[in-house]
Structure 1
Amino acid sequence: MFDEDGLERQLREARATLREVAEASRAHDPREIVTEAAEGRIVVTLGTDGRISSLEINPTVLRDGVQYLAEELQVAVNAALDERSADARTDEPVADLAALTARVERLQDEGLRQMRALTMSVSDVMRKLHGR
């Protein structure tokens, strides 16, 4: 009727799976990326949020013209974005969230079923005690 060991085992499995998912997501936290262009005269920093957090342009780059500045700025920004994209790729298996959700739902259903059975047993005992 009330399988406490089975429920405990299911809870351990669900917790272990959740820990794996949490650890996998932490392992892929983005890092700050710094790229350069125009022989180091343009420095772009891409923050952990994926947005440009810093843009440094040495005024000497303007001597080469606005078109050159625009092209080199594009090179630096695209290099940062490419690096972020490469960081995001992984060969590690991704947690099957649908399976995890199904497991948690089964665990909840089993817990509710066992709680109902326990409640019915307690009610039966109480009825028998009051019937004496």
Structure 2
Amino acid sequence: MAGFSSAELDRMLTEARKTLESMRQGNTAPRPEKTKTADGDALEGVGEAADGRIKVTAVAGGRLKSVELNPRVMRMSSQELGERLVEAVNAALEDLRAKAATAGAAEGAVDPAALGKQIEEIQNQSLRQMELITQALNDTLAKIGGSR
């Protein structure tokens, strides 16, 4: 019989459920539709450090758009400057994540928990249907084999 066996279908749907579980735990990047504001502008996250002397702007995909350094930061040691840059970048990325989450909630984003439950129901129903189809095929083959 061509197509998927019930075991293959079960495996594929199980993998989809695992992916959704991973999404629920926050192990994904922002979806493309969450990277724009309602006006269509790209979402940006901004972070500052060293009393505003370092300002970083981050955009979707964990990329930096800009790094602004006040000339006074050049008086810092290289180690301190590096630490403050990391602080500003992390703040910008966190701001971007928060804005993406807010944008998704405002747009009525898909609830991964509800979607996962629906996939589980589909998986269970499809397995039952596959078993019925397989049984019907086996019965038909048995009848054909028995009539020879």
* Normalised TM-score (structure 1): 0.48
Structure whose CA Rg is larger: 1
Structure with bigger helix share is 1
